[in-house]
Amino acid sequence: MTAPLSRVYPIKIPFSLLTPLGPVQRFVFSFLIATGKSLVLIDAGVSGSEERIFRKIQEIGRKPEAIRLLILTHSHPDHIGGARSIQEATGCMVAAHPFEQRWIEDTQCQERERPVPGFSGLVGGPVTVTRLIHDGELIGLGEGRALEVLHTPGHSAGSISLLLHPEMVVFSGDTIPVPDTVPIYDDPKETLLSIQRLMNIDQVSYLLPSWDEPHEGKEAYRVMQEGYAWVERVSKAVRDMSEAYPGIEPLRLTQIVVKELGLPPDAANPMVTRTIIGLLPEGLKDFRKIRS
Ligand SMILES: [Zn+2]
């Protein structure tokens, strides 16, 4: 039996995602780590999440101004949405991997290049990345504790996970896709390598993903394996369906793949089309020129 999480606080943030077929209820996690005097926040939820995050901080007897560092696992709207307000309210440093910096600091550019439906409602504005963090870097927390930065690309080029020492808690961001939910990643091969890398960590006590509940010990490894198998299953479905329907328009292919995978029709959104394009054999990637 694993020891309960200590001085790490998951904050579950509900939000609705607009899809062409109507709003879908989702949630994302942010995480607070309490250190001697200060707090480190991992991810900032969607716009407005600061209220829920600050309430949690008060519940544990601290003040929001105690946040000294906000680490963004990547630049997507449900991770950076509240960052600007939190930075303004607390004056904290904001850290991210260099590959995510542009989309965090220029959210209009992100919206143009990756048009998540309802983007402007999810993101409270751009924020400046004041600390660039790289693979292998250790962020000291005092009292012998540290966060190790693991560059785990695939979902996005600069996606990171964080490993809390000595507790061996893994914060995986969106690195591990959740089986039977919409597959969203830019690069399937990188995604598999990144999941493999997390699976190779010994003695993980907790896995804390952004889009899933916390998982303890053995359960954590099972979840990683299932995420890996899901990526392989999605890849196979895309390969099979693109062969069965050669030359098909990308959004239509998305609908067929979504059905093949047993997902609800509203899963056929532009983000999934982006995943599917990334999975197509080289010769078919001219789809990129077609707007879906
Ligand atoms: Zn994401």
Q: What is the distance between the alpha carbons of residues 79 and 74, in angstroms, rounded to a whole number?
A: 7
Q: Over its length of 292 residues, how does the chain's per-residue pLDDT go in tens digits?
A: 567 889 999 999 999 988 767 788 999 999 999 999 999 999 999 999 999 999 999 999 999 999 999 999 999 999 999 999 999 999 999 999 999 999 999 999 999 999 888 999 999 999 999 999 999 999 999 999 999 999 999 999 999 999 999 999 999 999 999 999 889 899 999 999 999 999 999 999 999 999 999 999 999 999 999 999 999 999 999 999 999 998 898 889 999 999 999 998 888 888 888 889 888 876 455 444 433 3
Residue 55's contacts (CB-CB under 8 Å, 6 or more residues apart) are none
Task: Copy the structure tokens of residue 88.
Answer: 């303004």
Residue 253 Cα to ligand 1 middle (Å): 22
Residue 176 Cα to ligand 1 middle (Å): 10
- Domains, the chain, in order of start with CATH, read 8-234 (3.60.15.10), 245-289 (no CATH)
Q: What is the distance between the alpha carbons of residues 175 and 191, in angstroms, rounded to a whole number?
A: 7
Q: Which among 15, 90, 23, 8 has a CA at the least distance from the CA of 48? A: 15
Residue 155 Cα to ligand 1 middle (Å): 7
Task: Copy the structure tokens of residue 94.
Answer: 């904001």
In 10 A of CB 44, how many CB atoms? Answer: 29
Residue 163 Cα to ligand 1 middle (Å): 18
Q: Which among 201, 179, 28 has a CA at the least distance from the CA of 116? A: 28
Contact yes or no for 142/135 (Cβ under 8 A):
no
Residue 95 Cα to ligand 1 middle (Å): 16
Task: Copy the structure tokens of residue 240.
Answer: 């099979």
